[in-house]
Amino acid sequence: MSTIYDDASAWFEANWDPTMSLGDWWARLAGAGYAFPRWPKMAGGRSFNKAESAAITRARRDAGAYGPPNGVATFLVAPTLFQYGTAEQQERYLPAIADGTVRWCQLFSEPGYGSDMAGLATRAELDGDEWTVNGQKVWNSGAHYADFAILIARTDPDQPKHKGITFFLFDMRQPGVEVRPLREMTGDAAFNEVFMTNARVHESDRLGDIGAGWHVAMTTLSHERNPENPGLSETAPFGEVKLSVPVGEHAGAEARNVDGFSISLSGGGGALFERVVNETDAWSHPLMRQRLAELASMRRIGRWSNERTAARMKAGAQPGPEVSTQKINGAEMSRRMRDLGLEAMGAEGMLWSDDTPTDGVFHRFAMFTPANSIAGGTDEVMRNVLGERVLGLPREPGESDQREKPWKDLPKG
């Protein structure tokens, strides 16, 4: 009797062709249900469990086949649509996410409301069957090439700040949307700021109830902080995607040009770090060996936490505030990998060029590492979440009053 692995291996053997275009390969992968096996069949999956999905991933790797799309669309938008989207919204948006033909970004944070995201000032006002949107967002990954965005905007300033927010599916290609890339110290520009001036959103693209956007957004963020997210892939999550390029060439270019952001979110930082450790023989140094053992312990704790989250989701629950533990742990592991990797390289760890170990890729990962403590919620915010929502500690003084007052009466900026 054939197993899931055997069936998948036979399919990849018959279908994988590095000369076909990336778009054709992703369409074929989604059509067979092998893009995201844990997703429903209507969205490029097979409704498989974690173990069955892992067997398919193993078969794909063994065949040397390129992975499915990755990014905001797959690990943030899709799971939010699964939970809150109408049947029409799911049918309209999910297939194009599974085959990578439509790209998304996230419009949550604002310049004056980073840690206090609920204080956001971007406004959406209903005009007939459309909403008019005005405001500014920042730190928007991939917004410079995104087709759509998930957007939260204030729709009722007379309500307390958490209750007057609504969640939208937003067209990034329309008039009134200006995207300005932000250059990082790595030299890359993965983040952006976005300005919206009288932009429009149809009422049919509202996700969830009016005024319930904060709850929807918290669900989205719980998926962002969940390393067991079924929408995470091994391919680079951020970068221009040319669907007409042969998939083999695209995979090769990605391996050569991957940036620190892509490495961080695709899980490749660990593999890159292990390569540095092995090439430098770091295990032969007693002090380095002790620090590597500490990092290994953190990884085991992370895996245990991941298993708890997976069990919760298997029982039908969404990831809860406890995923903040995994977010903090992941950021700390990134910092330790950065420090240990550069130290293991010796003098070469101080250089910045393509002829350094790992062709400079680890150095780009190291330069991007501070972002892991910011993106998806700062370490400080994550600790507040754990203290208040998991441990039951009291909120900060004055916060309860702010939660009850109308947003329009709160101090701004």
Mind listing the pLDDT tens digit for each residue in 192-239? 999 999 999 999 999 999 999 999 998 898 777 666 677 777 777 777
pLDDT tens per residue across span 343-373: 999 999 888 887 888 888 888 888 888 888 8
Q: What is the DSSP letter of 53?
A: H
Residues 292 and 362 in one domain: yes
Domain span at residue 272 reads 267-377
Interatomic CA distance for residues 262 and 187, integer angstroms: 14
**Residue 125 annotated in active site:** no
User: Does residue 112 lie in a domain region?
Assistant: yes
Judge whether 385 and 224 are in contact, CB under 8 Å.
Answer: no
Residues 360 and 411 in one domain: no
User: Does residue 258 lie in a domain region?
Assistant: no
Q: Is the pLDDT of residue 316 over 80?
A: no
pLDDT tens per residue across span 82-100: 999 999 999 999 999 999 9
Judge whether 78 and 226 are in contact, CB under 8 Å.
Answer: no
Q: What is the mean pLDDT of residues 235-253?
A: 78
Interatomic CA distance for residues 236 and 219, integer angstroms: 24
Q: What is the mean pLDDT of residues 151-176?
A: 96
pLDDT at 296: 87
Residues 296 and 216 in one domain: no
Point out the catalytic residue in the list 110, 184, 193, 224. 224
Q: What is the mean pLDDT of residues 127-140?
A: 95
Residues 75 and 217 in one domain: yes
CA 34 to chain centre: 20
β 104-107/148-154 pair status: parallel
Say how many domains are in the chain.
Answer: 2
Interatomic CA distance for residues 180 and 196, integer angstroms: 12
pLDDT at 87: 94
User: Does residue 395 lie in a domain region?
Assistant: no
pLDDT at 317: 59
User: Does residue 292 lie in a domain region?
Assistant: yes
Residues 79 and 228 in one domain: yes
pLDDT at 301: 79
Burial 357-390 (b: 16+ CB within 10 A, else e): bbeebbbbbbbbbbbbbbbbbbeebbebbbbeee
| Per-residue pLDDT band at 308 (split at 50, 70, 90) | low
Interatomic CA distance for residues 171 and 205, integer angstroms: 9
- For the chain, what's the residue count? 413
Please indicate whether residue 189 or residue 63 has the higher confidence score (pLDDT): 63
User: Does residue 31 lie in a domain region?
Assistant: no
Q: Is the pLDDT of residue 390 over 60?
A: yes
pLDDT at 24: 96
User: Does residue 48 lie in a domain region?
Assistant: no
The partner residues of 246 in beta bridges, in order of sequence, read: 21
User: Does residue 60 lie in a domain region?
Assistant: no
Residues 226 and 89 in one domain: yes
Contacts of 19 (CB under 8 A, 6+ apart): 246, 247, 248
CATH code assigned at 201: 2.40.110.10
Q: Considering only 223-232, 284-293, 381-390, which range has the smallest mean pLDDT? A: 223-232
Residues 92 and 216 in one domain: yes
Q: What is the DSSP letter of 396?
A: P
Residues 194 and 279 in one domain: no
Q: Is the pLDDT of residue 252 over 70?
A: no
Residues 291 and 191 in one domain: no
pLDDT at 113: 77
Residues 224 and 283 in one domain: no
Dihedral sign of CA atoms 107, 113, 117, 118 in order:
negative
Residues 111 and 218 in one domain: yes
Judge whether 104 and 153 are in contact, CB under 8 Å.
Answer: no
Q: Is the pLDDT of residue 151 over 90?
A: yes
Q: Is the pLDDT of residue 126 over 90?
A: yes
Interatomic CA distance for residues 400 and 413, integer angstroms: 19
**What is the maximum span of the chain, computed from C-alpha positions, in angstroms?**
70
Interatomic CA distance for residues 346 and 194, integer angstroms: 41
Residues 162 and 103 in one domain: yes
CATH code assigned at 276: 1.20.140.10
User: Does residue 396 lie in a domain region?
Assistant: no
